[in-house]
Amino acid sequence: MTDYLVYDVFSAKAFGGNQLAVIPDATALPESDLQKIAREFNFSETTFVYPPEDAHNQAKVRIFTPTMEIPFAGHPVVGTAVALADLGVCADDGNMVLELGVGPLPCHAANGSARFTTEVPLDVIATPDVAQVAAALGLSVDDIKVDAHVPTLASVGLPFTITELHSREALARITTDVSGFRAGAAQYPTSLDFAQFAYFREGQTLHARMFAPLDNIPEDPATGSACAALGALLSKVEGADQQLLIRQGEDMGRLSLIDLTTQGAAVTISGAAKRVMQGTFVY
């Protein structure tokens, strides 16, 4: 029998944030079933936890979307860290190291919240045309702001096109056009298919939405890996460390609150996670 847990991540209460299925001991599951299980949950990600390869670390974590395995993602790291802390799998001070596809990642979890810090260098892959991004998002080119940066396909482990908008109203007005995503994915092939992370900035608060319809994620309520890439990008273009609160998922009715700070090359993502379900596989 294999147990599973479901957490709402980047939310301190149930029915907010981004859903995550966590299998805290996946050792008995056949390799051929992992993708099927992730598709069965149909959340943006499911994590499978194994004993660490290095005994100094706490766990090895594999992350699956409904369509593929990925090396890194933010809300699965935060949710899995909280789950393991709830199960007592961490040091007395709440510190732990999780082994991911991007390598060992230091985390801290306590009292229903977690944080991780990544120093994976920012990889700027491309700068897609403004009109192409606008078409994918169902917006006008006039909605896209290019003062700080043009639309930028960037990654600190997972690639997203990061685009600033002129208004909160434009962010709310996004209606994705799958044909635009197909065209972008063909021109810029990466591990995600032209995933779009759009935001509007109000001082130190950012309102954001993320779309990856070709990867079976019509919209994501919280995307920590995209937030981490955004933090690294803003730190680079502004030449200054960042301290931001990102509000994502609000237009979906699943508000996520993501804290982001940068210090030099290090990006820290933090937030709460709430267990909402648990059960056992019976297939």
Angstrom distance (rounded) from CA 48 to CA 137 = 32
102 burial via Cβ count (<10 Å: 0-12, 13-18, 19+): middle
Angstrom distance (rounded) from CA 165 to CA 146 = 8
Catalytic residue among 31, 40, 45, 202: 45
Angstrom distance (rounded) from CA 71 to CA 54 = 18
Query: 3-state class of 50 per DSSP?
Result: strand
Residue pair 187/220 in contact (Cβ under 8 Å)? The answer is: no
User: Which amino acid type is present at position 277?
Assistant: M
45 flagged as catalytic = yes
A 10 A CB-CB count for 15 gives 12
CA angle 166, 167, 173 (to 5 degrees): 115
Angstrom distance (rounded) from CA 169 to CA 174 = 9
User: Which amino acid type is present at position 26?
Assistant: A
Rg of the Cα atoms in the chain: 18
Phi, psi of 17 (to 5 degrees): 65, -155
**Alpha-helical regions (H) of the chain:** 34-41, 74-86, 130-137, 168-173, 178-187, 224-238
Residue pair 231/260 in contact (Cβ under 8 Å)? The answer is: yes
Q: Please identify every residue annotated as catalytic.
A: 45
